[in-house]
Amino acid sequence: FRKELEELKDLHAETKDGHLVELVGNIGTPNDIEGVHRNGGQGVGLYRTEFLYMDSHEMPSEEKQYDAYKKVVEGMENMPIIIRTLDIGGDKKLPYLQLDDELNPFLGLRAIRLCFAEKDLFKTQLRAILRASAHGKALIMFPMISNIEEVRQAKVILEECKSELDTEQIAYDKEIKVGIMVEIPSAAVCADIIAKEVDFFSIGTNDLCQYTLAVDRMNENVSYLYQPFNPAILRLVKNVIDASHAHKGKFTGMCGEMAGEPLAALILLGLGLDEFSMSASSIPQIKKIIRSVTLKEAQEIAKKALDLATADEVKQMVQLELNKLN
């Protein structure tokens, strides 16, 4: 079995009728890129940069960040690397950054909100990412976007950083693509509005489930309500993908756990997801599933899923379909 997955490494993530998708890895540090290569990943769909901050005793300097991002960008040899800007707050804290205690930290000053409040911190990171973009194919992704105004605000700050680098005659990729994580329901619902002002989406199902279903993603008492296959989630995912495709064929990826979940693969494929980003070790298994169907078959499965009333019904239906393939 392992050997079979090994052989998949160099094959395309392609359906029987030639529809290609991208299978890429989620990483937290430059060391993780080895696993992405080993499993045949075609790039990085989510580089969680917060580990660089959390593993440090002080705010990492622009130089230190640049070194890390450059290592990843160079190490992936011109494959796309989606670098997510800092997602701290919620349950993640930095010992050297004093913040108010909050009653509901997951609804508080988290991720992009914190970056707007700490603009210097944000600009330091953006400069480091921009500088790394001169060495390969980096893309920038903003987390926890809830509306179009935040997209605009983030882009204004990014432009400020670009102008500074221009003045200092420091190289960066002038065509660098800018996208957002869709992990807050308001962004998923208004994806058509936001699609006009970003280059891509990546759906963060971990938080999208938490916020849509009002279920703390870490709370065991309500974990039975944490349902990626809930019809509400499937409808939002469909809405996001359709909105991005409708606007100049922009791409939608997914970097939440659902992207590496075998039961979800056929539905996501059928809904038209362009890029699946997951822990590298899941890539071969998802590739195998994608290679076992035609796009049309997957579309029919997705259509059936959208007609069902509960998460359990959806899972049972896809399980039967998966069994048929084996």
Q: Catalog residues that contact Mg ion under the rule CB under 5 A.
A: 183, 204, 207
Report if residue 136 touches ligand PEP, rule: CB under 6 A.
Answer: no
> Residue 84 half-sphere exposure, CB side, CA atoms within 13 Å?
31
> How near is the Cβ of 202 to ligand PEP at its closest, in Å?
8
Is 131 annotated in a binding site? The answer is no
Which partner, Mg ion, ligand PEP, none, binds residue 131 by CB below 5 to 8 Å per kind? none
Is 197 annotated in a binding site? The answer is no
Is 217 annotated in a binding site? The answer is yes
Taking the C-alpha atoms of residue 291 and residue 272, their distance in angstroms, rounded to an integer, is 15
Taking the C-alpha atoms of residue 185 and residue 208, their distance in angstroms, rounded to an integer, is 6
Taking the C-alpha atoms of residue 24 and residue 265, their distance in angstroms, rounded to an integer, is 14
If binding means CB under 6 A, how many residues of this protein chain bind ligand PEP?
10
Report if residue 253 touches ligand PEP, rule: CB under 6 A.
Answer: no
53 Cβ neighbours under 8 A, 6+ residues apart: 59, 60, 86, 88, 94
Straight-line distance from the first to the last Cα atom of the chain, in angstroms, rounded to the nearest whole number: 13
Which of 115, 190, 209, 255 is labelled catalytic?
Answer: 255
| Region from 168-176, 201-209, 243-251, 301-309 binding ligand PEP, contact rule CB under 6 A | 201-209
Of 33, 133, 139, 32, residue with least CA distance to 85: 139
Burial class (CB in 10 A: 0-12, 13-18, 19+), 7: exposed
Token pair for residue 116? 């707007």
Taking the C-alpha atoms of residue 324 and residue 228, their distance in angstroms, rounded to an integer, is 23
Q: What angle do CA 147, 150, 153 make, to 5 degrees?
A: 150
Among 191, 233, 241, 255, binds ligand PEP (CB under 6 A): 255
Report if residue 275 touches ligand PEP, rule: CB under 6 A.
Answer: no
Distances (CA, A) of 167 to 131, 153, 162, 178, 300: 14, 21, 9, 22, 54
Report if residue 256 touches ligand PEP, rule: CB under 6 A.
Answer: yes
Which partner, ligand PEP, Mg ion, none, binds residue 255 by CB below 5 to 8 Å per kind? ligand PEP
Is 87 annotated in a binding site? The answer is no
Does 255 qualify as catalytic in the annotation? yes
Burial class (CB in 10 A: 0-12, 13-18, 19+), 38: middle
Report if residue 261 touches ligand PEP, rule: CB under 6 A.
Answer: no
Is 84 annotated in a binding site? The answer is yes
Which partner, Mg ion, ligand PEP, none, binds residue 110 by CB below 5 to 8 Å per kind? none
Which partner, ligand PEP, Mg ion, none, binds residue 135 by CB below 5 to 8 Å per kind? none
Is 207 annotated in a binding site? The answer is yes
> How near is the Cβ of 312 to Mg ion at its closest, in Å?
25
Binding residues for ligand PEP restricted to 85-124, rule: CB under 6 A = 87
Place of tokens 């029987």: 16
* Residue 240 or 293 with smaller CB distance to ligand PEP: 240
Distances (CA, A) of 313 to 222, 306, 307, 318, 319: 20, 11, 10, 9, 10
Report if residue 206 touches ligand PEP, rule: CB under 6 A.
Answer: yes
Residue type, 44: V
Binding residues for ligand PEP restricted to 69-88, rule: CB under 6 A = 87
> How near is the Cβ of 322 to Mg ion at its closest, in Å?
27
Residues within the annotated binding site? 48, 84, 183, 206-207, 217
Chain contacts with ligand PEP (rule: CB under 6 A): 46, 48, 87, 183, 204-207, 255-256
* Residues designated as active site: 255
